[in-house]
Amino acid sequence: MILSGIKVKDVMVRDIVTLNSSITIDDAVDKYFLRYSYGGFPVMVDGKFLGIITLKEVKDVPRKDWDRVKVSDILVPHDKKWEVSPDSDVMGSLELMIKEDKGRIIVMENDKIIGLITRNGIARYLQIRGK
């Protein structure tokens, strides 16, 4: 298999963009989702990873409430089952994303976020490196 032996650290996004938990959905959409065209972002408070916010959570909130609802109110809380280490196999990470219906998984090392691995990132890797 093409992904055999490939580690998460070889495919992960290292320059991640994070959101502060105190910003509103309105700010998250205008300053992050539209600017970066990502489907989700890690949410932090005081350097601590709280969870992820995706477009799914944003769309669940009525548009009229976006200016007062905070990112922290709608994020999907961090769960260790949705994180991997940089030395994990990419195939296992992809299987986890499929099983849990996630588009991205957090890459953690020493209790710190060091990257993200995404389905799109894996697809791009295969497009470039695939045989």
Residue pLDDT, tens place only, 82-122: 899 999 999 999 999 999 888 889 999 998 999 999 998 89
Average pLDDT, the chain: 92
Tokens at 110, concatenated: 């020493």
42 pLDDT above the threshold of 90: yes
* pLDDT band at residue 23 under the 50/70/90 scheme: very high
Residue 131: the pLDDT is 56
Q: Give domain 8-129's CATH number out of 3.90.1310.10, 3.30.450.20, 3.30.43.10, 3.10.580.10.
A: 3.10.580.10
Residue 126: the pLDDT is 87
Residue 58: the pLDDT is 97
Residue 98: the pLDDT is 92
Residue 81: the pLDDT is 83
* Percent residues over pLDDT 70 in the chain: 98
Burial code (b: 16+ CB inside 10 Å, e: under 16) for 63-93 equals eeebeebbbbebbbebeeebbbebebebeeb
Residue 84: the pLDDT is 95
